[in-house]
Chain A
């Protein structure tokens, strides 16, 4: 089991540029989550999917953020245009089953927007 795979591990970009973060969940997992971690706000849930369908995107900060899950093995989180306040570590996590199952996290993407 390779675990949840995120790419890239680090991303440095200039304000105004488009950023795409990628995630491959664990095979067979039917839930996928995107979290953002910062010193100020801790770990925030941005959006999650069940069977590739977005269930709750109320945590997405604004329209500049979008997420897709075109199939069971791939998801993207896109920021367009990026701003310095988007700098954070973005985690993808997956889970098999519902609310009583633990999450499995990737190692995150550290995004720096200058």
Chain B
């Protein structure tokens, strides 16, 4: 079965600094990968998704992620952090062999310091 591992349950950056949130996946077939963001007291919202059309995927709010098959990774980045980026971020994987469900990583809480 497919799975994702998010390295680092907490990441803290200064405002204006680079954001890097790590995600590695495990899948026996080419996966579809997603990043979601969760703000306090809200549900998860889609940031971006990888669907094999391009390895570098751009999402909302200036985030992007690069699919690297050789490293089985799909790390999320943003060049310059903003205070409003403080939230929890989830990587998720779905593939043909998954009977159409979606599995989430444990999440990474991003703190942005002024």
- List the interface of chain A (C-beta within 8 A of B): 4, 31, 33, 42-43, 45, 48, 50, 55-56, 91, 93, 98-100, 102-108
Contacts and interface: CB of A to CB of B under 8 A. Distances in A.
A45 B103 contact: yes
B41 A56 contact: no
Contacts of A105: 36, 43-45
B30 to A, nearest CB: 10
A56 to B, nearest CB: 6
B101 A56 contact: yes
A69 to B, nearest CB: 15
Interface stretch (B14-22, B62-70, B72-80, B92-100): B92-100
Nearest to A4: B43
B90 A43 contact: yes
Contacts of B43: 4, 91, 93, 105-108
B34 interface: yes
A20 to B, nearest CB: 19
A12 to B, nearest CB: 16
B51 to A, nearest CB: 6
A43 B94 contact: no
Contacts of A50: 100
6 contacts: A42-B105, A99-B95, A103-B44, A103-B102, A107-B41, A108-B43
Contacts of A43: 44, 90, 104, 107
Contact of A99 (B36, B45, B96, B106): B96
Contacts of A42: 104-107
A89 to B, nearest CB: 9
Contact of B101 (A45, A91, A100, A102): A45
A46 to B, nearest CB: 11
A103 B94 CA distance: 11
